[in-house]
Structure 1
Amino acid sequence: MSFFEEISPEMDRYLENHASSEPDILKRLRKETFQKTTQPHMISGFLQGRLLAIISKMLQPKNILEVGTFTGYATLCLTEGLAKEGKITTIDVNEELAYLPKKYFQESEFSAQIDFQLKDAKDFLKETDEIFDLVFIDADKENYPEYFHLIKSRVKSGAVILFDNVLWYGKVLEENSKQKSTQKIQELNDLVAKDEDFENLILPLRDGINLIRKK
């Protein structure tokens, strides 16, 4: 099967039925995302969410950064592995939708560990002196290369960075694409693969996740 062929509903159900169960709070958030937003496909979803949770639990990070909150589904998945005194900073610019992640963050058992900021992530990264153990980026694709450049100095050895949507519905295979978002995702993938300070693998889960580890 091509990575870009749609997985059959039967296979999708099989994968979900043979993965660890989704916490109830995430089930409710996923349902409300589909009810209340115009682009619910932007949510990380069940399988990707379980991947984020498992990676977070493996690392037990003290400091997580998420760029692109949307409704907060991925945020809550990432909190599952937080160290006892750890925190996650999640950043978005969508003020109109902010009520939805805030609602579920307040309800979460990790509410005191979630710092939700409405601001430009590039500004945040230029201003902060924090060092992160785990970074998840699912935001404006045209800034992916800049995010990588800004984050490089903000992660320590052994830290993990994840970029979402790096296969871009197969458009990364296009040569001389005129679409800027496609060009920038191609640029990111090239940058990461050539950077000797990192090791990486693109996982063909959903629309592709670039899994990157700082050496």
Structure 2
Amino acid sequence: MTKEIESYILSHSDEEGSLLAALNRDANVNLLRPRMLSGHLQGRILKMFCRMLKPKRVLEIGTYTGYATLCMAEALEKDAEIHTLEINDEMEDFIRKYVSQSPDKDKIKLYFGDAMEIIPALDESFDLVFIDADKRLYSDYYDLIFDKLPAGALILADNTLWDGKVLEPLHPADKQTAGILAFNDKIKADQRVEKVILPLRDGLTMIWKK
């Protein structure tokens, strides 16, 4: 997608709003890897998924700035919740700064720590899961959450095209790309789900549990 096409798409889509725009600016000025946040286009798409699916419980693995969290929370009904997990506790002040300003803050449950330890302790089932964390562990996250999902639940996995590295020869030291390749192959072979990769930004895989 060219920048011109993306600009046209964004100009004909809903605006991100003042809070998300402020978060985006803050991230680009003060964080080392601002490209990691979901951004305007993906944020509106995540919100639309929540509008359509009306999930009661959402699990987000990898909060980062909280941008995607806030986008999904916008579309959740009053009695719904999003449980969001972030391993980097240095992001806590940044995340809480913006979550606290959101009119949807009561729908958001924040957890800081290792998702591999937190997820087994969550006594919840989830209608929607968004995976955007350590690429080396995507397959492990998938295995952890699968039994917590009812039939008809949707998993969204981000970065599954990984800057096109999925098509390049794998360097032995590149554990992130190896993790994405293993995950993509795992999902392709899993007959318990239907799946499709969307060429959105860095690749977004939709996985529907049968």
Q: TM-score, normalised by structure 1?
A: 0.93
Alignment partner, residue 71 of structure 2: 77
Q: Residue 153 of structure 2 aligns to a residue in which SS?
A: strand
1:160 counterpart = 2:154: yes
CA–CA distance in 1 between the matches of 2:170 and 2:202? 21
Alignment partner, residue 13 of structure 2: 19
Alignment partner, residue 187 of structure 1: 182
The letter for the 2-side match of 1:94 is N
Unmatched runs of 5 consecutive residues or more in structure 2: none
CA contact (8 A) 2:157 2:204 kept: yes
Alignment partner, residue 207 of structure 2: 212
Offset, 1:203: 0.5
1:52 counterpart = 2:52: no
CA–CA distance in 1 between the matches of 2:209 and 2:58? 15
The letter for the 2-side match of 1:115 is K
CA contact (8 A) 2:78 2:107 kept: no
Equivalent positions of 1:34-113 (< 5 A) are: 34-113=28-107
CA contact (8 A) 2:89 2:113 kept: no
CA–CA distance in 1 between the matches of 2:107 and 2:90? 23
Offset, 1:177: 4.1
Q: CA RMSD in A?
A: 1.2
Q: Residue 38 of structure 1 aligns to a residue in which SS?
A: coil
Deviation by residue 1:78-123 (Cα, 9 ceiling, x = unmatched):
1122122111111102111211110111111111111111111111
Q: Residue 208 of structure 2 aligns to a residue in which SS?
A: strand
Offset, 1:149: 0.8
CA–CA distance in 1 between the matches of 2:169 and 2:153? 32
1:138 counterpart = 2:132: yes
CA–CA distance in 2 between the matches of 1:98 and 1:36? 14
CA–CA distance in 2 between the matches of 1:138 and 1:176? 21
Offset, 1:74: 0.3
CA contact (8 A) 1:165 1:209 kept: yes
Alignment partner, residue 198 of structure 1: 193
Q: Residue 135 of structure 1 aligns to a residue in which SS?
A: strand
Unmatched runs of 5 consecutive residues or more in structure 1: 1-6
Q: What stretches of structure 1 move > 3 A for 4+ residues in a row? A: none
Deviation by residue 1:184-206 (Cα, 9 ceiling, x = unmatched):
11111111111111111100100
CA–CA distance in 2 between the matches of 1:176 and 1:89? 34
The letter for the 2-side match of 1:39 is R
- 69-78 or 169-178, larger mean C-alpha shift: 169-178
CA–CA distance in 1 between the matches of 2:109 and 2:123? 16
CA contact (8 A) 1:59 1:81 kept: no
CA contact (8 A) 1:58 1:81 kept: no
**Using a 3 Å threshold, how does the CA distance of structure 1 residues 184 and 116 change in structure 2: closer, same or farther?**
same
CA contact (8 A) 2:165 2:177 kept: yes
CA–CA distance in 1 between the matches of 2:196 and 2:2? 25
CA contact (8 A) 2:154 2:206 kept: yes
